[in-house]
Structure 1
Amino acid sequence: MKHTKTAFSIFFLLILGSFLFIWLENELTFREQLKERSLPSGLHPIVEEKRDLLVNQAAEIGIDILITDGYRSPEEQDGLHSQGRNTPGSVVTHAQAGESYHNYGLAIDYALRLDDGSVVWDTTRDGNGNGESDWFEVAAIGKELGFDWGGDWQRFKDYPHLEITFGLSIRELQQGWRPEDKME
């Protein structure tokens, strides 16, 4: 009886080990394929179109903006994440590679460009003289175009940030979900 239990245990462990080996091999293959086929290399076409509309509509009311960031590669994201932690500078993001909508081509950042060509991140500036903050006017245009604005976030205010998520979470994007290239 003891030999039967031992044989059964060995048989069970062999079956379990085989199952785990096959599962792990398939999981690694799936992740490699997902990484190869699904990471974008630029802005999503709809985000790109809305970015251009934002720049033009801001210019129509006398605000010159510069898009300071759009798509970010995983390496760029990790470089920004290390800033203020492992490299000199201030912390500018809490997102590591794969944790930012920038990594999926779904986000942009902007700043105000002055007449002399310099760039400022001044949220109180009223360069067009209408009594309203240029920064908040640009954010309002962005929201009208369908962007979510980082200045509305509860915990970490990211005033330069605009994103269109298409209803997808970062977790879903990490799992390979992607928005359509056209709006219906």
Structure 2
Amino acid sequence: MVATEPVETPTQQAEAAAEAQGTDDEPEQTEQECRGWIAVRSRYMNFDLIAVSFTATVYKLDGDAATQVVQETVDYTAIATNGLFVSRRRVARPVPVDGALEGAPEPAPTIISQAQIPAVAAASGKPLVMLGGDEGFEPGQFRVTLRPTVRHGKLRVHPAITASEDAARAGRYRIIGTDGVVPAELTDTNTTDEYLQVPDTTTVETDWSEDILVPCMPRNMPKTVDFRWTDFRTWDGVSSRRIRTLHPTTRHIFFAFINKIEENYRLTYRVAQAYRTFAEQDALYAQGRTTPGNIVTGAVGGRSNHNYGAAVDIYDVIAGGAIDWSGATYPDAVEVGDAFDLDWGGRWTTIVDRPHFEYLTGMTTRQLLAEYNAGNTFTYDGRTYVNF
């Protein structure tokens, strides 16, 4: 076997130069190669902790030519538990041995990037991923192309439009094109509505790109590209149609909920129940009491969050289209539901309802019913919803 010398990073080259000079001091007249790094943040709009899995391809641009230089896949298997993607890290000072001082003054905080390499990010759930490894990139123009792992109906969106930007469309969200361009002139077709919703006929895209300039900077100061997402479809047309009956405030959350279960755990959950009318709720309440069947609910019409479009019942569809009624995968669904701040019926102590997940409206169903009876409602997609 022929021995080969390991490839040195720029830092290792500088250390070798210092050793050649016969000193532990910083090498004199030795310049490290100028490099830069790229950090990709992929997450749901309004849920900064919930990362979206992806494959990123980085191209070096030279005029009209684009040469692929790296490709990384980040398949998340966890959801982050905190949002400290950038920390203000202080350098510790030693306490004097004689104990004369309680402590020494600390220097001003320094911003340190907390981007993680792809494998670590996937396991930790952190949405900020470092690309470039130890070597980094030669400074210049690059194109970063992201392909989300689950993309049944995804949009890349920009933070909400303010009244000073466009009073008529305040609260809506710009839809960023697949070329990374944020629309300057706003229309109803290049923005979502205020609920992050778009028509079901919206084109389903596959890849989103953005051209960036990567400067010569330390690894802890990468060029960051931010991809924020919203979902408008799931793997299943039945589920998508049912989610579209829910209160508009909750729809993008339940779309993302079903898709994130699939993304993290490769489970295909179907929405069995979503919005219910008061009459449908009364009929369900009668089951096992005055009509045949088992008792499945303790709520009469107007006393279930289903009646206000704020809840779904789901089940796992397995190979061949069969339904897994064992509940073996509910812990995975619950982990995702907790991240989206959904309440799980499996934790209830009266009638335990394991398929049930509901949006926390901030009101009891008694209060929601009072708001409904008082007319504090609005119409959306032909249905009447309570304001919450």
Cα RMSD after superposing both structures: 1.6
The answer to whether the 8 Å contact 1:71/1:105 transfers is: yes
TM-score (norm 2): 0.33
Same amino acid, percent of matched pairs: 33
> Among 257, 261, 271, which residue is 1:54 paired with?
257
Per the TM alignment, residue 58 of structure 1 is displaced from its structure 2 partner at its CA by 1.1
The answer to whether the 8 Å contact 1:112/1:121 transfers is: yes
2:353 corresponds to 1:149: no
> Among 97, 102, 108, which residue is 2:312 paired with?
108
The answer to whether the 8 Å contact 2:289/2:295 transfers is: yes
Listed as ranges, the matches of 1:77-156 within 5 Å are 77-124=281-328, 134-156=329-351
Cα distance in 1, alignment partners of residues 356 and 267 from structure 2: 17
Cα distance in 1, alignment partners of residues 255 and 365 from structure 2: 24
Unaligned segments of structure 1, at least 5 residues: 1-40, 125-133
Count how many residue pairs are aligned between Structure 1 and Structure 2: 131
Could you tell me which amino acid in structure 1 is paired with residue 306 of structure 2?
A: H
Between the two structures, name the one with larger relative contact order (CA 8 Å, sep ≥ 6).
Answer: 1
> Among 166, 170, 173, which residue is 2:365 paired with?
170
Moved over 4 A (4+): none
Unaligned segments of structure 2, at least 5 residues: 1-243, 377-385
Could you tell me which amino acid in structure 2 is paired with residue 119 of structure 1?
A: I
Deviations 1:88-112 (A, max 9, x none): 1111101110010000111111001
Listed as ranges, the matches of 1:13-92 within 5 Å are 42-60=245-263, 61-92=265-296
TM-score (norm 1): 0.67
The answer to whether the 8 Å contact 1:64/1:114 transfers is: yes
Secondary structure at 1:175 match in 2: helix
More helix by share: 1
The answer to whether the 8 Å contact 2:341/2:360 transfers is: no
Secondary structure at 1:116 match in 2: helix
Cα distance in 1, alignment partners of residues 280 and 324 from structure 2: 22
The answer to whether the 8 Å contact 1:81/1:92 transfers is: yes
- Structure exhibiting the larger radius of gyration computed from Cα positions: 2
Per the TM alignment, residue 146 of structure 1 is displaced from its structure 2 partner at its CA by 1.5
Per the TM alignment, residue 165 of structure 1 is displaced from its structure 2 partner at its CA by 2.6
The answer to whether the 8 Å contact 1:112/1:122 transfers is: no
More strand by share: 2
Deviations 1:119-147 (A, max 9, x none): 232112xxxxxxxxx11110110111111
Cα distance in 1, alignment partners of residues 335 and 296 from structure 2: 23
The answer to whether the 8 Å contact 1:101/1:165 transfers is: no
